[in-house]
Amino acid sequence: MLKELFIDRIELVLALWAILYISDYYLTVWAARLYRSSTSSHISIEGSLEITPYFREDIDAARLISTRFLRVLVLSLLVVTFAWIITVRTLGAKRIFEAILGGFFLLEATAHIRHIRNIALMRQVRRNQGLKGKIEYPRWLSLEISAIELSGFSFLFLVISVFTRAYFFAGGALTCLLTGMGHLLWSRKSKAAAVKPEVETQAGNSIESL
């Protein structure tokens, strides 16, 4: 009953999505500020804390107001609205819209879990509790870890969808899997780009030693 009411009220969907998406951005900004102020002395992440290239500049600068973010927020609200008009109002296919909502909301839920974990770790680092020494993450490794995490959440959501027959979790499983595959592809490209200069340097050293 609650699910049907939620799907029929697009204004509730849009309000909840806006809140969730905005909180995602500001949790990322919070993490970026913690990283820059204290965590970078113990954890060094190559490139940027932000994975998505489109937002990297704003997150690195810890901008509270981002025109890029506002554009994507408005676009996402329009996409959800258009999907609701087509699936619910035009076709009467509420299960398809339920899957679309799962794709949007569960991917964001996964992002929030990761933000909370990262912020909790960084706060401990700032207090000089628990972490010693320094670790460096190359860009490709950060992306690969992200891909593995997203694949794990995808599997979890898939299992839940099978047992509950809920299209909401099926949609979440699909978007997490696709996003994870995208991060894995970026990881492979980043790793190849990192290895190439090393190979060229080794080749140059070999020639000089002849």
Q: What is the pLDDT of residues 71-94, one digit of tens each?
A: 999 999 999 999 999 999 999 999
Pick from 176, 119, 172, 106: nearest CA to 147:
176
What span, in angstroms and rounded, lies between the C-alpha atoms of 2 and 96? Answer: 17
For 183, other C-beta atoms within 10 Å of its C-beta total 22
Quote the pLDDT of residue 196: 61
Tell me what pLDDT residue 209 has.
46
Q: How far is residue 54 from each of residues 51, 58, 71, 95, 176, measured CA to CA in Å?
A: 9, 9, 11, 31, 19
Q: Which residues of the chain have pLDDT under 50?
A: 199-200, 203-204, 206-210
Q: Residue 53: what pLDDT?
A: 87
> Amino acid identity, residue 143?
L
Q: Write down the pLDDT at residue 134.
A: 81
Candidates 15, 29, 12, 110; CA nearest to 66 is: 29
Please name which of 184, 187, 179, 185 lies closest in space to residue 157, comparing C-alpha atoms.
Answer: 179
Counting beta carbons within 10 angstroms of the beta carbon of residue 134, is it exposed (0 to 12), middle (13 to 18) or buried (19 or more)? exposed
Predicted confidence at residue 203, as pLDDT, reads 43
pLDDT value of residue 132: 74
Return d(Cα 181, Cα 87) in angstroms, integer.
27
pLDDT at 205: 52
Entry pTM: 0.87
> How confident is the model at residue 207, as a pLDDT?
45
**DSSP 8-state symbol, 88:** I
